[in-house]
Structure 1
């Protein structure tokens, strides 16, 4: 296999951009700060925020870690971690949403991109994934899914990619973690969250 090219990571803004909603996920491995793009991906962004606001991701888990080593039968390989809602509350899931492809939104599957998992088109509900490295095969027209429709990118990691990579490195049986990483809290960033986030990003003096 050819050596993987360095990730062309999008620059991280000092704060969420206009139209982005700052969401905080807390896990036993640390905190992940997300920016959900409700302008470029209004349907997908609103869907994710519904699950956040309803508390349906709290108690959910990161349960799948896809690496170059654990997809031997896939000719198009990717690297992502996948999470979802509290399984005990599956009856509260919303109906599936239409697929907002990257050709429509203008978003791309770069390192740290937040996107929706799916089977067939228009079947995404609560399960999401975060890209580890750039994953152009997940964009519309990419070859990862045979239908060529790609996946619905709708946000990005503001900080916490070290946590995402720690999740990806956990022991797994194939692609499924043997010890799932629980999402202890998921919510829109409070003023205290935002202050703590800015403090974490401030340069040392």
Structure 2
């Protein structure tokens, strides 16, 4: 995660240390202060605020590199949505995973309706570059309506018991959410999950 395409200009720490700190934070259920302590044990003195800035600045670039290493080509997509409270307001995290649990895409939205489901499907088709053989969802009717509009020829199985793959994919994020005492903004959550899922897909 230290490609020459990423600029580390004006950073006094080597790229390897920066990448290590960012990886530790997103891969394991660690707070920024715990990452700071782990680095201190190795003789690297850096504040948790600096680590926070590294995560914000380099996280997206690292995630982009990781996605290039293992693009998913599976043909069954499991879709699900989970409620997340941000600043006392209800939001929905829409997520798609393949049959192996590889996160294909996820997006934070304020609605849980056909328009929101359609937005997820359109993003998926654009990112994956192909349609799946089948999508699997819970009983939310919005999925069926969106599927008929976006990918009418794709098989759709809608059953609560069939969608454990997508539902289980929320568990790691729920653990981090509790540890972080929630998320403060939609943008902050979207940035976090972009890196968090890319790291978990490969490690």
Higher strand proportion, which one? 1
Higher helix proportion, which one? 2
Q: TM-score with structure 1 length normalisation?
A: 0.28
Relative contact order (C-alpha < 8 Å, sep 6+): which is higher? 1
